[in-house]
Amino acid sequence: MKKIKNISAKTILLIGGMVLGFTGCSEDDDNPNTGEPIITSQSLKMDLSQFQKEDAGVFMQAFYWDVEPIGGWYDQVASEIEEWANAGVNRIWLPSPSKGASGEFSMGYDPMDYFDVGEFSQRGSENVETRFGSRQELEDLIQKAHANDIEVIADVVMGHNSGGGLQANPFRGGAEVFTLFNEENGNASGKFNRNFDHFHPNGVVDADEEALFFPETDLSHAVPYVQEWLWGRDDSVAEFYRSLGFDGWRFDYVKSFAPKWVTAWNDKVGGFSVGENFDGNQQVLKDWVDASGSAAFDFACFYRLDETLDRANDLTALGDAGNMLRKLDPSNAVTFTANHDTEKDPNPDNRISYGKKLLAYSYILTHDGYPTVFYLDYQAFKGQLNTLIEIYNTLAVGDVEIIEANKDEYIMKRSGSGDNPGLILYMNISGQTKQRTVQTNWAGKQLVDYTDNSRATPTADAQGNATLSAPPGSYTVWSITKE
């Protein structure tokens, strides 16, 4: 993780939380001098449950790289389902469930036997479970998620394979490659046996698949046999995942196969889907969304946040029009601040530093798009993230209007809808408290910060102007007080 010399946002929030713990008062606290209830910013807040959106919910990435305990991850996730449901999570993303070449140490991204989700002994190992657990534990987890109104999304790795036996490939001049998958070679289930005819190159022309991940062992989706086993047959991989209870799909590294194959998979089995198109160019993401009909992770938004919060230490670029997928196509933009890949990347330019995480979350959990919360981040910032999730599920409605975007400050307004008053986000990355008079939609109304990062309770004038503030290296989210 990146180190920062100044006090981090997390430290500031922790200190603030300690102060609140010692000095905060509830509506029931009485002034010892008068016996009257003390009026605090907490007591002025509206009950946000009245504004619950119809499409409320956030996405939880329910794993990180090299999860522990080995063999017990499904049970660990199951133990947290009710908490996540209460927080406002409506979908969880699980790692690829199929047995990988590295067995109990596999994170699922070296798929070997698509139909082994913790049932078969493979490659001489007596252990039948995946790193995450057994098939029964997986199905129990999915059932518990469904009982708590949470959909479960499977990670679909249909680009590359690993762990097959060696065989000579005539399309590679007779070179030996690991492309033999049968009962004796990494495919104990006996379903979807493969050989060199099903990988690149082969006798079928499929030039539209250009960015191969592992050229020797990337599946060729143009081969009808591969299409049938992945999604076409009634006993395909897609249908098998459906039978386990999965509700949707996260497609891994979609640059290695044509978007039409995602369309074909979704047409066959349906469900929510999102693609990992690892690209910071918003137009590349938009073109893929249009071609596949699927949502995509908003890597453009991720890199803008990393750039502005860390590399440039300048929020100005957040005000640029069209530099994120969520600005071009918010309904198909799955926003995020971290994932299993970014968190293990040694390049600091490919991840948002720990001290800036909450600032990044304040952005994605107040703007449009479908936000993702990363498991480890939730563990680290649970209280603050629960507050932001509640704000996203209630007040984050209406048009997005950028009020200010400069080096130190970013201020954004959501217009609200009907009785829902909307919100104003104020991000401040400077080393001192910032305040600014802005035009609100709340003429004559008293305001309060729903994140508790500020105790101020300003009142908008007759024209809607109000002086809002944000602490150093932190954020505030403003809306009206209760009547």
pLDDT the model gives residue 210: 57
**Is pLDDT of 6 > 60?**
no
Burial class (CB in 10 A: 0-12, 13-18, 19+), 271: middle
pLDDT the model gives residue 251: 98
**Is pLDDT of 213 > 80?**
no
pLDDT the model gives residue 123: 81
| Overall size of the chain counted in residues | 483
pLDDT the model gives residue 206: 56
pLDDT the model gives residue 127: 84
Average pLDDT over residues 9-27: 35
Strands (E), 8-164: 58-61, 89-94, 99-100, 111-113, 151-156
**DSSP structure string for 127-163:** --SBTTB-HHHHHHHHHHHHHTT-EEEEEE--SB---
Confidence class for position 404, pLDDT limits 50, 70, 90: very high
pLDDT the model gives residue 204: 77
212 or 403, which is more confident? 403
pLDDT the model gives residue 31: 43
**DSSP structure string for 202-242:** -SS--TT----SSGGGBB-TTSHHHHIIIIISTTSHHHHHH
Contact (CB, 8 A) for 168 and 176: yes
Average pLDDT over residues 434-441: 97
**Residue of 295, 273, 250 lying closest to 286 (CA atoms):** 295
pLDDT the model gives residue 147: 98
pLDDT the model gives residue 13: 38
- Which runs of consecutive H residues, i.e. helices, occur in 221-337? 224-227, 237-244, 259-269, 282-292, 299-306, 325-328
Q: How far apart are CA 188 and CA 115, in angstroms?
A: 9
* 408 has binding-site annotation: yes
Helix axes 357-364, 299-306, angle to 10 degrees: 140
Q: Domains (ranges, CATH) in the chain? A: 9-47+406-480 (2.60.40.1180), 54-398 (3.20.20.80)
Question: Annotated active-site positions, please?
Answer: 252, 276
Beta bridge partners of 437: 467
DSSP single-letter state for residue 7: P
**Is pLDDT of 33 > 70?**
no
pLDDT, tens digit, 9 for 90 and up, residues 93-107: 999 999 999 999 999
12 or 174, which is more confident? 174
pLDDT the model gives residue 36: 47
pLDDT the model gives residue 348: 85
Per 3-state DSSP, the chain is made up of helix, strand and coil in percentages (nearest 5) of: 35, 20, 45
pLDDT the model gives residue 205: 63
Residue 348's CB is within 10 A of a number of other CB atoms, namely 14
User: If DSSP codes are grouped into helix, strand and coil, which group holds residue 333?
Assistant: strand
The answer to which of 45-54, 344-353, 357-366 has the lowest mean pLDDT is 344-353
**Is pLDDT of 24 > 50?**
no
Q: How far apart are CA 396 and CA 450, in angstroms?
A: 12
User: If DSSP codes are grouped into helix, strand and coil, which group holds residue 258?
Assistant: coil
Q: Report percent pLDDT > 90 for the chain.
A: 83
| Residue found by looking up tokens 């893929």 in the block | 288
Confidence class for position 124, pLDDT limits 50, 70, 90: confident
**Residue of 92, 104, 93 lying closest to 133 (CA atoms):** 104
**Is pLDDT of 451 > 70?**
yes
pLDDT the model gives residue 45: 97
Q: Which two tokens stand for residue 254?
A: 């979609």
Average pLDDT over residues 290-295: 98
Beta bridge partners of 176: 168
Contact (CB, 8 A) for 202 and 215: no
Q: Which two tokens stand for residue 283?
A: 């137009």
**Is pLDDT of 417 > 80?**
yes
Q: How far apart are CA 381 and CA 58, in angstroms?
A: 16
Residue 43's CB is within 10 A of a number of other CB atoms, namely 16
pLDDT the model gives residue 321: 82
Q: How far apart are CA 376 and CA 370, in angstroms?
A: 19
**Is pLDDT of 408 > 80?**
yes
pLDDT the model gives residue 211: 62
Confidence class for position 20, pLDDT limits 50, 70, 90: very low
Average pLDDT, the chain: 90
Q: Which residues contact 182 (CB under 8 A, 6 or more apart)?
A: 165, 190, 193
Confidence class for position 195, pLDDT limits 50, 70, 90: very high
Based on its alpha-carbon atoms, the radius of gyration of the chain, rounded to whole angstroms, reads 25
Q: How far apart are CA 201 and CA 207, in angstroms?
A: 10
**Residue of 11, 5, 2 lying closest to 380 (CA atoms):** 11
| Residue found by looking up tokens 């109990």 in the block | 104
Q: Which two tokens stand for residue 348?
A: 């600091």
pLDDT the model gives residue 203: 80
pLDDT, tens digit, 9 for 90 and up, residues 224-245: 999 999 999 999 999 999 999 9
Helix axes 237-244, 135-147, angle to 10 degrees: 60
**Is pLDDT of 479 > 80?**
yes
pLDDT the model gives residue 40: 63
**Is pLDDT of 130 > 80?**
yes
pLDDT the model gives residue 233: 97
Burial class (CB in 10 A: 0-12, 13-18, 19+), 412: buried
Q: How far apart are CA 219 and CA 199, in angstroms?
A: 4
* 449 has binding-site annotation: no
Average pLDDT over residues 305-324: 95
Reported pTM:
0.90
